[in-house]
Structure 1
């Protein structure tokens, strides 16, 4: 079985108000890329991945008229994908949803949000003291995680959670002090979301369920200077002792020799690209017996991706993130 997480930059820009694909020469949400080029590139990437299920981060919008499930179903039909069934969770106000595309011949999936005394439902509010003043703040997800009950064709039950944690970037402010303050506020919120998510994962593991966490955590061990201020990255908090991801474990080492990356961004000020490891597929310990194999489909770090010129170009045009796949000996 192959599972993939894929953050697709402004996927929503490829669909009209009726969730029909717009494949023309008008600009997409990606800088310098038209809608036809991004759409065709995405189709080629999905076809090459040939996954049994894809967790789409920044999926098309659900709103007054638009529906994520309908849009991704139209994309799957246009691209000829076997991941023709789609399930999404709580709608957001961001035009960036979370959804799972899957092959119904391989598995079934349903949105099954849970709650406990330690972790409310992901569309609720989470109370936690973020700044140690003994007054708890209320935290919400702008993009509530997608909590799924999954059953494979062979009868294996799984809990799969798709997540997109808050960005730490200090958008919307100017000035050195204001930027620092906003960055710290955003990191506090992100860490609170990570704690909330970890508690939900712990609930499932304690109940004897196997868990897979997939998505963009907008963080990574050693990614920025604020991590020293708070002690841990969000990735380490989410992973805890319950989950494993080799890329996160590599980054947790004091001086990793060749750190992996899952995204590539352009710095307009420095006129250079920079890399980051933001996307993860974490598994609970019981799934280690399924011989897990992880792969980041990075066109400049994966030799096979680089050697395939068409795939290499498609990966660069489709999104600023690259897919991360997990292969399991599971039916």
Structure 2
């Protein structure tokens, strides 16, 4: 079975109010990319990765009369995908949902959120109380994009828990000077770390119960990604993976990045920095598995247009990956 994670930049902009795909010459949400170009590229990429289930980050909007599930299922019909069924959990107001697009002949998925108000680890559509700035007062933290919690059963009868996540960006949006950049960056990292602690709490619940668990998505962080990480001692990725000696999750790309002080690390995203007139690459997207799934996991792959040899040699695929999104798909082939 192939599981994928794919952050599609402004997927919502490709659909009208009825959820129909708009393949015209109007601009998409991608820089210098028309809607027809992004849609065609995405159709090609989705068919190439040919996954049984794709955790779509920045999935189409699912509120105020719009249906993200209809939009994704319409997209699947247009491009004749095997994954024809879409599922969204708690919706949000960012126009960027978290959704699972999957092949119903290969697995069954149910939105199955855990926890109730008042729990130490509350539901993801609630509020988490944590002291962010060490002033002996609890701060209230929420998810702008609540993680998607799923109960999965494959056609072979394997049961597992799956969590799709999109953590808060650390980018200092709205900053006008160096002082604001620092202040906003630190505040955003604090909130992101709090979300990671909250998410880790749910992970520990599942691991303690001995359940099969897969956590995948855009964590907007990675080891050594920015200078503010040193202020807090560790990245959100390290928090979610777990400490040595505790039940841990595993992702080989994260493990490789954590092990390297100098030298290249895997990357899953590529952003254009207008002020510097260059591209920045980063490791942001992960598929983490519990220890009891590691022996079933066969191969992780980042479909990077330059770093993956097959993607590089296939000019059509390479160009499609660059046109489709500022993130690249991550896949895991696993026996389920």
TM-score normalized with structure 1 length = 0.98
| Aligned residues between the structures | 330
* CA distance in structure 1 between the aligned counterparts of 2:43 and 2:85, rounded to whole angstroms: 16
* CA distance in structure 2 between the aligned counterparts of 1:312 and 1:192, rounded to whole angstroms: 37
Q: Who is 1:142 aligned against?
A: 144
Cα distance change of structure 1 residues 144 and 291 upon mapping to structure 2, 3 Å threshold: closer
Matches within 5 A, 1:137-176: 137-176=139-178
* CA distance in structure 2 between the aligned counterparts of 1:133 and 1:251, rounded to whole angstroms: 33
Q: Bigger CA drift: 139-148 or 234-243?
A: 234-243
Pair 1:317-2:319 in alignment: no
Q: Who is 1:71 aligned against?
A: 71
Q: Who is 2:205 aligned against?
A: 203
Contact 2:132 2:190 in 1 (8 A): yes
Q: Who is 1:111 aligned against?
A: 111
* CA distance in structure 2 between the aligned counterparts of 1:188 and 1:104, rounded to whole angstroms: 39
Q: Quote how far apart the aligned CAs of 1:254 are.
A: 4.2
* CA distance in structure 2 between the aligned counterparts of 1:284 and 1:253, rounded to whole angstroms: 19
Q: Who is 1:7 aligned against?
A: 7
* CA distance in structure 1 between the aligned counterparts of 2:299 and 2:143, rounded to whole angstroms: 30
Gaps of at least 5 residues in structure 2 are none
Matches within 5 A, 1:166-245: 166-240=168-242, 241-245=247-251
* CA distance in structure 1 between the aligned counterparts of 2:248 and 2:211, rounded to whole angstroms: 11
Q: Quote how far apart the aligned CAs of 1:17 are.
A: 0.7
Q: Secondary structure at the match of 2:204?
A: helix
Q: Quote how far apart the aligned CAs of 1:178 are.
A: 1.4
Q: Who is 1:52 aligned against?
A: 52
Q: Who is 1:300 aligned against?
A: 306
Q: Quote how far apart the aligned CAs of 1:207 are.
A: 1.2
Q: Who is 1:82 aligned against?
A: 82
Deviations 1:107-157 (A, max 9, x none): 000100001633100000000001111101000000000000000011110
Q: Secondary structure at the match of 1:86?
A: strand
Contact 2:297 2:332 in 1 (8 A): no
Q: Who is 1:40 aligned against?
A: 40
Q: Who is 2:95 aligned against?
A: 95
* CA distance in structure 2 between the aligned counterparts of 1:254 and 1:16, rounded to whole angstroms: 45
Contact 1:261 1:276 in 2 (8 A): yes
What's the C-alpha RMSD, in Å, of the aligned pairs?
0.9
* CA distance in structure 2 between the aligned counterparts of 1:216 and 1:295, rounded to whole angstroms: 15
* CA distance in structure 2 between the aligned counterparts of 1:64 and 1:274, rounded to whole angstroms: 35
Q: Secondary structure at the match of 1:315?
A: helix
Contact 1:250 1:256 in 2 (8 A): no
Aligned with residue 326 of structure 1, among 300, 324, 332: 332
* CA distance in structure 2 between the aligned counterparts of 1:239 and 1:34, rounded to whole angstroms: 38
Q: Quote how far apart the aligned CAs of 1:63 are.
A: 1.5
TM-score normalized with structure 2 length = 0.97
Deviations 1:69-106 (A, max 9, x none): 11000000001001001110111110000000000110
Runs of 4+ in structure 1 deviating by more than 3 angstroms, as ranges, are none
Gaps of at least 5 residues in structure 1 are none
Pair 1:277-2:279 in alignment: no
Contact 1:260 1:277 in 2 (8 A): yes
Deviations 1:275-330 (A, max 9, x none): 00000000000001214310000000000000001000000000000000000022
